[in-house]
Amino acid sequence: MSQGAPIAEQLRAATQLVYDGRFLQAEAGARQVLARQPRNAGAHYVLALSAMFQNSHAQALPHVDKAIALDATDAQYPFVRALCLAGAGRVEEAVESYRRALGLRPGFFEAWANLGNLLELNRRYAEAEEAYVRALEAKPGVPAVLNGLGMCLLARGEVQRAAEAFSRAVAADPRFATAQNNLGSTLGKLKQVDAAIAHLKEAVRLRPDFGVAWVNLGEQCYVAGRDPEAVAAIDHALALDPDNGGLRHLRDAIAGVQTGRAPDDYIRAFFDRFSADFDRRLVDDLEYRTPQRMVEFLAPWLEARRGKLRIEDLGCGTGLSGEVLKPYAARMAGVDLSGGMLAKARERNLYDRLAEAEIAAYLDANPAGECDLAAAMDVFVYVGDLDAIFRAVARALAPGGMFAFSVERLDGEGNFHLARSGRYAHSQAYVRDLAAAHGLAVWKIEDTVIRKEAGAPVAGLHAAFTRA
């Protein structure tokens, strides 16, 4: 680059060198300009751009700040400053800098689009939606922006509008595998299963290594009752993620393979995912009344012990069970695998202690004989083989203590059965035999309804055993 070339030409050449990845040469060109014009905003901008392209966001900021100080009218400078701040994790400052750029150039598509993405990543969905809409006003039909808009709408529960945004993204770029996957998954939520499967198949055709899309395809094939296709899709996902115990559990359930329990990581991830909305889904959508029915079932034993019991709420979840047990507790502890569920339980302020652990391991770590009531409500649907839990509970119970729980009822042969839903059912004979093997006596067992599924009642058992 000739030192005698016009300044504008030198800056254009230096900027192009940045975009070509020739950073040392670009920076040398910018410094040549600064040697001739120390207050040249464009040269400082080139140095900032070079540092940013090399992911050195902290090093870029002084240069872009200098460019802004020298020329406060160029929207590109606060835009790049926002990119650097976002890259450095300084979200609020980045948002402010994007807005400064947009104040200078209201139709700045890239600023609106990047602002939307930053806000979306930080779960500020209403603001992100507004930014994406403004980006689309500046440049209609951009697939990535339409996809981002769809994600915001989906997060806000506007499923139909989300599907429309994803559909526009796919129409704009049919080879956009991410939008194909998002559209398929969203159509599944709208019960348009055949259309969902078609888009998910296209997503994995476009990107054979798209693990999430394979899982979504498996889920929608399962919903459609196309179990062989569901298993094949999940097998593809497992080939990409062979250590995923949760996927393997779902695959086994759909394929009819019998296992002893769902993996802890599957249970933890499942309930963490739904913890924020769990109570509403369980109580309103599934008409879950097991805690209330369990207290009614135990009423003859509980009444004389109001406020006196040392209670272990096994698989306590968000604390729905703890609410009905609390009046009988002198002390109450809860244990669950899901940290998200425990956070919700903690908000209820019911428990003296909460622990994130597997049930048997948790009880084994506690002193023996210090529990008067061990209760597990709709917990064992994720555990088939209950032997280790019965053993741990029998050790934990004080003389005269009670072990009370609910299970889905198995009416066929066998001790327990893993259904295609991924949940276990248990036979009455099995829980009776386990109790006898671990020194527990039958107090009462009766039929009940656990919850509703697809509008139909799920048959279950309430069972209670005492330690002599």
- Tokens at 352, concatenated: 């003296």
Would the CA dihedral through 403, 408, 412, 414 be positive or negative? negative
User: Average pLDDT of the chain?
Assistant: 92
The reported pLDDT for the residue numbered 288 is 65
Compute the distance between CA of residue 449 and CA of residue 292 in angstroms, rounded to an integer: 12
Compute the distance between CA of residue 232 and CA of residue 255 in angstroms, rounded to an integer: 10
CA dist list (Å): 64 to 11, 34, 301, 355, 382: 15, 14, 73, 49, 55
Q: Give the pLDDT confidence of 61-78 residue by residue, as tens digits.
A: 999 999 999 999 999 999
Per-residue confidence at 278, pLDDT binned at 50, 70, 90? very low
Neighbours of 113 (CB within 10 A): 22
Region 140-161 average pLDDT: 97
Give 69's contacts (C-beta < 8 A, 6+ positions apart).
Answer: none
Examine the pLDDT at 273 and tell me if it is beyond 80. Answer: no
pLDDT cut 90: percent of the chain above it: 81
Q: pTM, whole model, 2 decimals? A: 0.80
Topology adopted by domain 271-467: Rossmann fold (3.40.50)
Examine the pLDDT at 247 and tell me if it is beyond 50. Answer: yes
Give 416's contacts (C-beta < 8 A, 6+ positions apart).
Answer: 384, 385, 386, 410, 424, 425, 426, 427, 430
Region 176-184 average pLDDT: 98
Compute the distance between CA of residue 204 and CA of residue 224 in angstroms, rounded to an integer: 18
Residue that the structure tokens 């901008």 belong to: 45
Give 303's contacts (C-beta < 8 A, 6+ positions apart).
Answer: none
Contact 48, 63 (CB under 8 A): yes
Contact 359, 262 (CB under 8 A): no
Q: Which ranges in the chain are annotated with CATH 1.25.40.10?
A: 7-255
Topology adopted by domain 7-255: 1.25.40
Region 47-52 average pLDDT: 94
The reported pLDDT for the residue numbered 260 is 85
Examine the pLDDT at 211 and tell me if it is beyond 80. Answer: yes
CA dist list (Å): 323 to 295, 317, 348, 393: 11, 11, 8, 22
Q: Which ranges in the chain are annotated with CATH 3.40.50.150?
A: 271-467
Per-residue confidence at 210, pLDDT binned at 50, 70, 90? very high
Compute the distance between CA of residue 243 and CA of residue 247 in angstroms, rounded to an integer: 9
Region 209-213 average pLDDT: 97
